[in-house]
Structure 1
Amino acid sequence: MVSGAQRLLEVLVAHGVEVVFGLPGVHNLPLWEALRGSGIRLVGVRHEQTAVYAADGYARATGGLGVALVTGGPGAANCLGATGEAYASGSPVLVVATDIPSTLRRQGEYRGVLHETRDQRAMFLPVVKGGWTLRAADSIGIYVDSAALLATNAPRGPVYLGVPTDFLTADAGVWSRIPTRAPEAPDVTAGAELVAGARRPLIWAGGGAARSGAGAAVAALAERIGAPVVTTYGARGLVDHPHVVHGPVHLPEVGALWDEADLVIGVGSDFDGMMTQNWLQPAPPKLLCVNVETVRNYTPDLTLRGDARTVVEALVEAVPARPDSGLAQRVAELNALVRKAVEADEPRVVPLLEALEGHRVVADMCVAGYWVGGFGRFTRPRDLAYPVGWGTLGFGFPAALGAALTGRVVAVCGDGGFLFACGDLATAAQERLPVTVVLVDDGGYGMLRHDQVAGGREPFGVDLVNPDFVALARSFGVEAFAVDGFGPAFAERLADCTRREGPNVLVVRAELKPPPNTSPRWYRKVRT
């Protein structure tokens, strides 16, 4: 007999899963037994939310499926915030949560069974791409297979799978993989005609371009038609190319590229509110979208549906060559203007941005993270994970634990957000994960303090009594250090931390002004 727990892991292995994140409970313990000989690495965490954040971080770093194994009821409920972030950011995450035994469930009744909810799946439906609760033990193979395919097929996103605990030890029956087929070659004729008629094209590359591995194709198209490339938060580091702008459209100098374009080519982007300053960017004269879904925030003149890399590669072959020999120089001058704007606006942040160049970074929703997300220089795909999809404070450290399974990662966190998951310093220590936490301690919720002060109010409820973060980390067996500000001592210590083995924490006592890509400082304003 193959048990349900064994079959579940067998299917995950078939989908290339090598690591899972989870927290054991009485209902999912058979999974822990099955993991012993499965060949899958188990990373045990200290909170269910961390399990999903870590799975998300792992998925963003690898491009593969991230898996979180949790128990039901309150354990499953603890996952909702992190699952919402994965949904908003298009991360392929599978959340497997046990449910009460099928023999104790009565349809339409709440009986008070341990961890019982009236409808656990319903809790997840607003924040997942899809979800199921198993109704029979011998269907576990087909449902896990379906869930993994749904999560990893574009548009990617999290999927929920509820498994009654008795199904984990029952006979799983037989299973055969769901057949898949390669996508058909796209017809890009109409798109090529639209591009051929443009004189000032702009390529706007989003997270879908990054998830499909479209960097080389985007670079080739940019060269062929003489277009600058603006990347969203989800596409930072998509490609290292002279046509790529190293700053966000929240700076007027960069936003002017949108305003001047007679054609915007959106690749894998839905033009969300955080990138468009809540759609205060005017609709472009012409909009060509390369996407797997209909873009609704602006009305496209044409949508080429399909995988971003496949479609853009076809466009490169179909459009006439019209390179702009002077564009690389103009983009270089624009990038220099962006760096000067940062130096003038907040000179204290420049050493942080410089010190992080070349590193893989997971940023939290904190002032330092906003600077890194908007103005950090990334030249490789998947080198930045940033939670601006849903904006979940506390993402940075636990997501970095998952990303660290692929090598050294720097997590940029604020003091408030770090405390959401500081207990998982135990996970970092136990697993010897190569994560360096840059913990910026400004004594409170710095962004909210700024909002209150900017509104003419005294700070209230935003200042924090913090622990001794160095002592806290060391109590878990994690190396920790502290510096004042982002001066030479910071850069030297960060370089030292990233060369060490295992986890470490670098506390930086500093306060930064929020950057122009935060909503209170957006330059486009609603006309009154």
Structure 2
Amino acid sequence: MSVTGAHSLVKALTELGVEVAFGLPGAHTLPLWDALMGSGIRLIGVRHEQAAAHAADGYARTTGSLGVALVATGPGAVNTLGALGEARAAASAVLVIATDVPSAPCVPATVRISPYEAGDQHTLFAPLSKATFTVGHADAIAAVVRESAAVATRPQSGPVYVGIPADFLAAPVAEPEPDCSAPAATSATPVCPAPVKGELDRARAMLLAARRPLVWAGGGALRSGAGAVLGELAERLAAPIITTLAARGLVPPDHPCLASNPVHTPEVGGLWDEADVVLAVGTDFDGLMTQNWRMPQPPELIAVNVDADDAARHYPPDVLLLGDATDVVTRLADGVEPQAGLDELTRRLDDIEVRVRRRVRQEEPHAAEFLSALKETLPDGAVLVPDLCVAGYWIGGFHRVSGPRQLACPMGAGAAGFALPAAIGIAAGGTTRAVCVTGDGGFLSGCAELATAVQESLAVTVVIVDDGGYGMLRYGQAHSGFEPHGVDLVTPDFVGLARSFGVDADRVDGFGRAFRRRLREFSRSAEPNVLVVGAELRPPLNTSPRWYRNPAAPW
């Protein structure tokens, strides 16, 4: 018995446990679309390939499972590159499977032999991917897909590209005998290094000797599920916890050690400055979180990471503990008895909270009203998906995140327009509600995905904060002494546009009672909807023009 390459591909995805895939059909992928019918994999057809990769990214971030994007040769594949960069920055386990030119006319070092040819397509993906694979024969499709999925999901996770010559999808392949002894790649136990006992002992002694220890938690801690053990260790050490954007929600918002506001506020930044030992878990200390590395090197730094290069890229550690965050922190906490000072720390963190919130209310009352409305109206379990826009930056820095994987922030390696397609992927993963918050400029870059939300009956609420243009860039021009130019936009009637897709929509002015009432209604609907808010916000302290450590920082 033989099957086609397309059927072999679908079977491999099914065996890997893939339940949802995102894609856009093309002439070269029609055999794959045919093979997906009746396969049990839900195929969500988006309107642009970039949206397919963003949706796969959103799905991966909130489910912890492999996100899959299926796209066609040349322009279709290339359209995913911006989204792939964002997935790489977020360490999202995304698999982009693209067709390439048919194998027969493929001539090395030439282009335009075949329609849609991009010319050495796989090399375009190398800088933005954890790995790239090119299938050399139709019989190898299943094996390559399994291997690429294992690479994508293995810590440190990341996006992987697979290129398949288009003619391989319709080619007959020999169906291999099932190997019952081999577990699916996504369910296999991740292969992580184990920390050296001597280094564990040294790190534990440093923490116990510290007068002002600090825990800095990044996305690797969240992906590992280390919140509970890290929170317990912080309590024993009476150490404050600062989380990066990627780790928001790692510990509950009422955790006694959590510094819930961003390190970009002087009040929280002071915790870093005074720390004598920092325990950094699952982070690479990127420029966004460190104000372009203006935070001083701590006197002693312990790094927990699965990747030695990642751990030491910006702040060299005194002790490096290689391994899975949950495993390493559990071992590190063994033998650590509760230290004095927890009540005093909690009182201090409560005071910092009061001072930061007072600052926001006094300096940015509209932002304070916006944050309060989100906290009070969104349903339990909703996932917030902010875009690269002023309102999105306020959410990333200051919104109270109830639990892990309930906030999906762009890490700044993509472009505006991330939020709506990412919310589609999140909703497809079965979350209670995906609430996308975007700007008028970012929304227009991918508004066609409203049709995807309608066609797939996805529970997505889109909040468009309409300030008449690119508000963040407008502020940046003014901050740099430039006259506003090219940042004010002609925009449509967003409510009428949404309704033309068959989407319930409304418009309000400001973040007051009307906004709260409509957001409460919309975020509890079973259907997609759009709420437009006429409002202008000033950027928060966690955006580069307002960094207090480097106020003249270039973007």
TM over 0.5: yes
Pick from 391, 397, 409: which aligns with 1:374?
397
- 8 Å CA contact 1:362, 1:410 repeated in 2: yes
Output the CA distance in 2 between the equivalents of 1:192 and 1:70.
49
Could you tell me which amino acid in structure 2 is paired with residue 16 of structure 1?
Answer: G
- 8 Å CA contact 1:246, 1:338 repeated in 2: no
Output the CA distance in 2 between the equivalents of 1:191 and 1:139.
46
Q: Which residue of 1 aligns with 2:137?
A: 136
- 8 Å CA contact 1:201, 1:262 repeated in 2: yes
What are the equivalent positions in structure 2 for 1:97-246 lying under 5 Å apart?
A: 97-173=98-174, 174=176, 176=179, 177=182, 183=192, 186=195, 187=197, 188-240=200-252, 241-246=255-260
Q: Which residue of 2 aligns with 1:262?
A: 276
Q: Which residue of 1 aligns with 2:322?
A: 305
Give the total of aligned pairs: 528
Q: Secondary structure, in 3 states, of the residue corresponding to 1:265?
A: strand
Q: Cα distance 1:200–1:81, how it changes in 2: closer, same or farther (>3 A)? A: same
Q: Which residue of 2 aligns with 1:484?
A: 509
Output the CA distance in 2 between the equivalents of 1:2 and 1:239.
48
Q: Which residue of 2 aligns with 1:69?
A: 70
Q: Secondary structure, in 3 states, of the residue corresponding to 1:499?
A: coil
1:434-464: CA deviations, max 9, x gaps? 0101100000000111111223332111000
Q: Which residue of 1 aligns with 2:449?
A: 424
1:384: how far off? 0.7
Output the CA distance in 1 between the equivalents of 2:82 and 2:366.
32
Q: Which residue of 1 aligns with 2:490?
A: 465
- 8 Å CA contact 1:244, 1:331 repeated in 2: yes
1:218: how far off? 0.9
- 8 Å CA contact 2:85, 2:414 repeated in 1: no
Q: Secondary structure, in 3 states, of the residue corresponding to 2:3?
A: coil
1:297-332: CA deviations, max 9, x gaps? 001001101111111111111434325332222222
- 8 Å CA contact 1:141, 1:172 repeated in 2: no
**Worse-superposed segment, 158-167 or 111-120:** 111-120
1:7: how far off? 1.8
Q: Secondary structure, in 3 states, of the residue corresponding to 1:102?
A: coil
1:392: how far off? 2.2
Q: Secondary structure, in 3 states, of the residue corresponding to 1:481?
A: strand
Q: Cα distance 1:462–1:183, how it changes in 2: closer, same or farther (>3 A)? A: closer
Output the CA distance in 1 between the equivalents of 2:512 and 2:446.
28
- 8 Å CA contact 2:62, 2:406 repeated in 1: yes
**Worse-superposed segment, 379-388 or 453-462:** 453-462
Q: Secondary structure, in 3 states, of the residue corresponding to 1:494?
A: helix
1:166: how far off? 1.4
1:111: how far off? 4.0
- 8 Å CA contact 2:545, 2:552 repeated in 1: no
What are the equivalent positions in structure 2 for 1:307-326 lying under 5 Å apart?
A: 307-326=324-343
1:284: how far off? 0.3
The yes-or-no answer on 1:280 pairing with 2:294 is yes
Q: Secondary structure, in 3 states, of the residue corresponding to 2:172?
A: coil
Output the CA distance in 2 between the equivalents of 1:126 and 1:168.
27
Output the CA distance in 2 between the equivalents of 1:393 and 1:282.
31
Output the CA distance in 2 between the equivalents of 1:336 and 1:4.
61
- 8 Å CA contact 1:131, 1:159 repeated in 2: yes
What are the equivalent positions in structure 2 for 1:441-456 lying under 5 Å apart?
A: 441-456=466-481
Could you tell me which amino acid in structure 1 is paired with residue 268 of structure 2?
Answer: V
1:198: how far off? 1.3
TM-score, length basis structure 1: 0.97
Could you tell me which amino acid in structure 2 is paired with residue 200 of structure 1?
Answer: R
**Worse-superposed segment, 344-353 or 49-58:** 344-353
1:471: how far off? 0.4
- 8 Å CA contact 2:235, 2:342 repeated in 1: no
Output the CA distance in 1 between the equivalents of 2:287 and 2:244.
11
Q: Cα distance 1:107–1:457, how it changes in 2: closer, same or farther (>3 A)? A: closer
Pick from 342, 358, 376: which aligns with 1:340?
358
Output the CA distance in 2 between the equivalents of 1:152 and 1:500.
33
1:46: how far off? 0.3
Q: Which residue of 2 aligns with 1:393?
A: 416
Output the CA distance in 1 between the equivalents of 2:262 and 2:251.
15
Could you tell me which amino acid in structure 2 is paired with residue 325 of structure 1?
Answer: L
Structure 2, unaligned runs of 5 or more: none
Q: Cα distance 1:524–1:286, how it changes in 2: closer, same or farther (>3 A)? A: same
Output the CA distance in 2 between the equivalents of 1:325 and 1:245.
13
Could you tell me which amino acid in structure 1 is paired with residue 362 of structure 2?
Answer: A
Q: Which residue of 2 aligns with 1:499?
A: 524
**Worse-superposed segment, 17-26 or 241-250:** 241-250
**Worse-superposed segment, 328-337 or 409-418:** 328-337
Q: Secondary structure, in 3 states, of the residue corresponding to 1:28?
A: helix
- 8 Å CA contact 1:482, 1:509 repeated in 2: yes
Could you tell me which amino acid in structure 2 is paired with residue 381 of structure 1?
Answer: P
TM-score, length basis structure 2: 0.92
Which aligned segments of 4 or more residues in structure 1 are displaced greater than 6 angstroms?
none
1:119-173: CA deviations, max 9, x gaps? 1100111100000111111111111011101111111110000011111122333
1:190: how far off? 2.5
- 8 Å CA contact 2:194, 2:322 repeated in 1: no
Q: Which residue of 1 aligns with 2:25?
A: 24
Output the CA distance in 2 between the equivalents of 1:526 and 1:487.
32
Q: Which residue of 1 aligns with 2:84?
A: 83
**Worse-superposed segment, 452-461 or 119-128:** 452-461
Output the CA distance in 2 between the equivalents of 1:520 and 1:3.
55
Q: Secondary structure, in 3 states, of the residue corresponding to 1:216?
A: helix
Q: Secondary structure, in 3 states, of the residue corresponding to 2:469?
A: coil
**Worse-superposed segment, 104-113 or 122-131:** 104-113
Output the CA distance in 2 between the equivalents of 1:9 and 1:317.
45
1:281: how far off? 0.3
Could you tell me which amino acid in structure 2 is paired with residue 486 of structure 1?
Answer: F
1:97: how far off? 0.3
- 8 Å CA contact 2:193, 2:306 repeated in 1: no
- 8 Å CA contact 1:280, 1:526 repeated in 2: no
State the identity %.
55
**Worse-superposed segment, 404-413 or 321-330:** 321-330
Could you tell me which amino acid in structure 1 is paired with residue 54 of structure 2?
Answer: Y
Q: Secondary structure, in 3 states, of the residue corresponding to 2:261?
A: coil
Could you tell me which amino acid in structure 2 is paired with residue 256 of structure 1?
Answer: G
1:183: how far off? 4.6
